[in-house]
Amino acid sequence: MFKQGEKVDIVTASQQFKGVFIKEEKDFLIIKLSNGYNIGIAKRNIKEQKSLGMTKEEGKEEKELKDKEAKEKPNSKLPTIAILHTGGTIASKVDYSTGAVIAQFTEEEIIKLFPELKQTANITSRLIRNMQSEMIRLAHYNIMAKAVEEEAKKGVDGVILTHGTDTLHYTAAALSFALESIGIPVILVGSQRSSDRGSTDASQNLLAAAEFIANSEFSGVAICMHEKTADENCLILPACKTRKMHTSRRDAFRPINALPIARVNVEKKKIDFIASDKHEKDKKEKEKKKLTLKLFNEKLKIGLVKPHIHMFASEILAYKDFDGLIIELLGIGHVPSMKVDEFTEENEHIIKAIAELAKKMPVAVAPQTIYGRINMNVYTPGKQLLEAGVIGNYTDMTPETAFIKLAWLLSNYEKEGKEKIKELFEKNLRGEISERSEKESFLN
């Protein structure tokens, strides 16, 4: 049998697999493919298997040189950037000697993984969580916000938060709300390809974020990911108006109802601001904004429901014991709400269920179309929703940002009553609601 870390070539009746042997299980061989993913191959299906030799250990002298570089003293001429890790594929690599995906989080490891960072800034780096971002809960936003506050108090010039891509846009919105009056840049960075693969987007995303922090006057929370699938530019994207729009493309993150804040070309060290609102840092000491943490109530239960054809009122009533609900409205602002023939009686129960919940909790809305603004004054179904007491008319938030904003409002303003929650939900606080719809911001 193979040794752990041995390169193998395995042929089954239908496929050929080349990778690194990780371990043998009762009926399977587990190998790691070059794309970083592990697969199990059923022994009964294996027709041929052969060794292609052991993976190369990093040369001793090469390792010593890299360690020495990583430990060099901070350069007083460069800004200091704190990198906080929460997990995801960006700060990990495959250790091909064992095949395991190993987390790389210390300064030394990060500098070895991305040595060019040292030309741009002094780097500190620490792990605050090591989790896939789809597992995140409200409590983790409080942990992240407190960690950012800790770095801000140390006087760093900016923070990079490495994060899984699946819910990166939720976290960006959450930190944008929680870190009130943050006077430094906090840039969330993920990657769609693990950092050890040739096609990784990790280093360019990280280097672009560092370049933007070091050489712009931006302050506030934002996202930095690839502009296109090609390794050319990265975009700095608005924290509350960005969404992951593709399962795997490197340019999956797109601004929604907004323009990108800036474009960064790492190679040319070029930063071009695009959107007009640049969130300039406070230059004069006296104006220095005081960071205030407004955290999340970790016990809140907020629902997110997507109305559809042939819906049932029970899908709304399922949230009757929740604290708040976001409804992703169809079109410009509708749900199945009207009995129009013998097949549509259930629709009347749906709008009644919404009105029932809206008496007990804030029921807010966002568009299923993702792009565009809600307007419930145009057609009857929209008017029925307004009569039922839902909030969020004329907003153009993504469903994810609306979810985060409602959770944050109920965490911090619940005692001020329903009217205050409605007023703040429909008011632009962190750039989450566009003052006017920019036509060029559709599918850009």
Least gap, CB of 212 to ligand DAS (angstroms): 20
Q: How far is the CB of 41 from ligand DAS (least distance, A)?
A: 23
- State the binding string over 187-226 for ligand DAS (x if CB under 6 A, else -): ---x------------------------------------
| Burial group, residue 338, by CB count within 10 angstroms (0-12, 13-18, 19+) | middle
Closest C-alpha among 189, 218, 177, 227 to residue 83: 189
- Choose which of 165, 171, 204, 441 interacts with ligand DAS (CB under 6 A): 165
| C-beta of residue 374 within 8 angstroms of C-beta of residue 426 | no
Q: Which stretch binds ligand DAS (CB under 6 A): 76-84, 158-166, 221-229, 254-262?
A: 158-166
Task: Rule CB under 6 A: choose which of 4, 132, 344, 428 binds ligand DAS.
Answer: 132
Between 2 and 105, whose beta carbon lies closer to ligand DAS?
105
Q: Cα dist. 176→142, 173, 218, 404, 430 in Å?
A: 12, 5, 14, 10, 7
Q: How far is the CB of 188 from ligand DAS (least distance, A)?
A: 11
| Helix, coil or strand: residue 150 | helix
**Measured from the CB of residue 35, what is the shortest distance to ligand DAS in angstroms?**
13
DSSP-assigned letters across all residues of 7-71 = EEEEEESS-EEEEEEEEE-SSEEEEEETTS-EEEEEGGGEEEEEEEEEPPPPPHHHHHHHHHHHT
* Whole-number Å distance between alpha carbons of 156 and 123: 10
Rule CB under 6 A: which of 69-128 touch ligand DAS?
A: 87-89
Read off the tokens for 109: 């490891």
Q: Is residue 12 flagged as an active site residue? A: no
- The catalytic residue among 89, 167, 171, 242 is 89
Q: Of 188 and 409, which CB lies nearer to ligand DAS in the complex structure? A: 188
Give the whole-angstrom CA distance, residue 282 versus residue 21.
54
Q: Is 134 in the site for ligand DAS (CB under 6 A)?
A: yes
**CB of 107 or CB of 166, closer to ligand DAS:** 166
Nearer to ligand DAS by Cβ, of 11 and 101: the residue is 101
Residue 380 is a catalytic residue = no
Q: Establish whether 165 is a catalytic residue.
A: yes
* 321 near ligand DAS, judged by CB under 6 A: no
36 part of the interface to ligand DAS, by CB under 6 A:
no
38-42 and 28-33 strand pairing = antiparallel
Q: Annotated catalytic residue: which of 9, 95, 157, 166?
A: 166
Closest approach of ligand DAS to the CB of residue 140, in Å: 12
Would you count residue 347 as binding ligand DAS (CB under 6 A)?
Answer: no
Q: Enumerate residues 172-191 that contact ligand DAS by CB under 6 A.
A: 190
Judged by CB under 6 A, which of 104, 120, 125, 133 binds ligand DAS?
133
Give the DSSP letter of residue 380.
H
CB closest to ligand DAS, residue no: 164
Lay out the sheet containing 28-33: strands in order across.
38-42, 28-33, 16-24, 6-12, 46-54
Cα–Cα distance between 91 and 105 in angstroms, integer?
A: 7
Active site residue 241: no
166 in contact with ligand DAS (CB under 6 A)? yes
Helix axes 168-178, 399-412, angle to 10 degrees: 30
Q: CB-wise, 182 or 235, nearer to ligand DAS?
A: 235
Cα separation, 57 vs 363, in Å, equals: 57
The number of residues that bind ligand DAS (CB under 6 A) is: 10
Measured in degrees and rounded to the nearest 5, phi and psi for residue 432 equal -80, -20
The minimum distance between CB 432 and ligand DAS, in angstroms, equals 22
Q: Is 93 helix (H, G, I), strand (E, B) or coil?
A: strand
Shorter beta-carbon distance to ligand DAS: residue 164 or 260: 164
Strand duo 92-95 + 100-103: pairing: antiparallel
CB of 160 to ligand DAS, least distance (A): 15
| DSSP classification of residue 286 | G
Give least dist CB 144 to ligand DAS, A.
14
Residues composing the chain: 444
Q: Which of 165, 171, 395, 401 is catalytic?
A: 165
**DSSP string over 385-444:** HHHHT-B-TT----HHHHHHHHHHHHHHSGGGHHHHHHHHHTS-SSS-S-SS--GGGS--
Nearer to ligand DAS by Cβ, of 147 and 325: the residue is 147
244, 281, 405, 422: the catalytic one is 244
* Residue numbers at the binding site for ligand DAS (CB under 6 A): 87-89, 132-134, 164-166, 190
> Which amino acids are annotated catalytic?
89, 165-166, 244
